[in-house]
Amino acid sequence: MIPTFEEIMLPFLKYLADGQEHGFSETHDALANKLGLTDEEQRELLPSRRQPVFRNRVGWTRIYLKRAGLISCPKRAHFKISDKGLELLKENPPEITTKFLKRYGDPVKPQPIVNVTGMTPEELLEYAYQKLYSELSKEVLGIVKTCSPAFFEKLVIDLLITMGYGGSRKDAGQAVGKAGDGGIDGIIKEDKLGLDIIYIQAKRWENAVPVKEIRDFTGALASKKAKKGIFITTSTFPNNVYKFVGQVEYKIILIDGEHLADLMIENSVGLSTVNTYKLKTIDSDYFEEI
């Protein structure tokens, strides 16, 4: 029988006990062997037929352990045990469950469905969708923060082009990284015809972006005689930044990490669709007899 994702948690953490960095596929195969899964069990698919059940559960195990701070993800699809994880293994717990992980704070929000009394099937589906979306958003932002500056620059341009800016990828690629002065990281066309130019600043930050950075960006726009700019960060903007932007004559769009992740999901940049479910209802007009 394929173990649940909770039953995989402790073996997963023990596999990382050597303190080394391990890839997802390597860890998946090691756990399958450790837990004695047959080839048939490893090939068993979800109802959607898009992904093996065990691989999906290993993925969710990683998410829960990472949210609890027991593992870290130094780069894409790789992880290693944290000091907190090593301390937990010293306690020699018999198992790790989502209830057990609450000692580190609730690693998953919104809360899992525990009281479904009175909920319609549509409500349950919507709740599950919001939960999956919240998890995906956090995961996307976490991966973006581990990207190199060059890749982050490419990601920003890919996103803007997908949203309809910049003309061709070739045009945008030539523009980005060539301005490189006065607080400007790149430029991109506002539309496919290039009727206006938008200046870009992209920062991978952990702490909130100080207002000084926005002032410098505004000064750079003035030196270029530009009127529009986009400032993108993986962190957040404090209130004084929004206040400052509202007072200047330039049109500056602020995109923080959460908004960036939402835009990537909305425009499928760096993501692929696992499955699509169509919810249908009766067309009462069709069945109305005249």
Number of domains in the chain: 2
Whether residue 90 is predicted with pLDDT greater than 90 in this model: the reply is: yes
Instruction: Assess whether 126 and 88 both reside in one domain.
Output: no
Give the span between the Cα atoms of 242 and 259, in whole angstroms. 15
Instruction: Assess whether 254 and 141 both reside in one domain.
Output: yes
Instruction: Assess whether 139 and 244 both reside in one domain.
Output: yes
Q: Is residue 162 in some structural domain? A: yes
Whether residue 123 is predicted with pLDDT greater than 60 in this model: the reply is: yes
Confidence (pLDDT) at 111: 45
Q: Is residue 116 in some structural domain? A: no
Give the span between the Cα atoms of 252 and 221, in whole angstroms. 10
Do residues 199 and 180 make contact, with C-beta atoms less than 8 angstroms apart? no
- Higher-pLDDT residue of 131 and 173 is 131
Tell me, yes or no, if the pTM score tops 0.75. Answer: no
Instruction: Assess whether 152 and 275 both reside in one domain.
Output: yes
> In 201-222, which positions are buried (b, 16+ CB within 10 angstroms) versus exposed (e)?
bbebbeeebebebbeebbebbe
Residue 208 structural domain: 121-290
Confidence of residue 183 (pLDDT cuts 50, 70, 90): low
Which domain-ending residue is among 76, 108, 140? Answer: 108
- Higher-pLDDT residue of 17 and 175 is 17
Which domain-ending residue is among 83, 108, 133? Answer: 108
Instruction: Assess whether 162 and 192 both reside in one domain.
Output: yes
Q: Is residue 248 in some structural domain? A: yes
Q: Is residue 258 in some structural domain? A: yes
> Which CATH number characterizes residue 190's domain?
3.40.1350.10
pLDDT in tens, 205-259: 889 999 999 999 999 898 888 889 999 999 999 999 999 999 998 899 999 999 9
Which domain-ending residue is among 84, 108, 132? Answer: 108
> Which CATH number characterizes residue 21's domain?
1.10.10
Long-range contacts at 83-90 (CB < 8 A, ≥ 24 apart):
85/13, 85/16, 86/17, 86/19, 88/13, 89/13, 89/14, 89/17
Average pLDDT over every residue of 10-19 = 97
Average pLDDT over every residue of 259-278 = 90
Q: Is residue 184 in some structural domain? A: yes
Average pLDDT over every residue of 187-205 = 82
Instruction: Assess whether 46 and 175 both reside in one domain.
Output: no
Confidence (pLDDT) at 112: 47
Instruction: Assess whether 68 and 161 both reside in one domain.
Output: no
Q: Is residue 115 in some structural domain? A: no
Average pLDDT over every residue of 107-136 = 67
Q: Is residue 114 in some structural domain? A: no
Instruction: Assess whether 129 and 237 both reside in one domain.
Output: yes
pLDDT in tens, 35-78: 999 999 999 987 767 788 999 899 889 989 998 999 998 887 89
Instruction: Assess whether 125 and 94 both reside in one domain.
Output: no
Instruction: Assess whether 59 and 146 both reside in one domain.
Output: no
Instruction: Assess whether 149 and 255 both reside in one domain.
Output: yes
Q: Is residue 113 in some structural domain? A: no
Strands (E) in the chain, as ranges, are 22-23, 71-75, 78-81, 186-189, 197-203, 228-233, 251-255
Whether residue 12 is predicted with pLDDT greater than 60 in this model: the reply is: yes
Average pLDDT over every residue of 1-28 = 95
Instruction: Assess whether 288 and 170 both reside in one domain.
Output: yes
H or E, element range at 16 = none
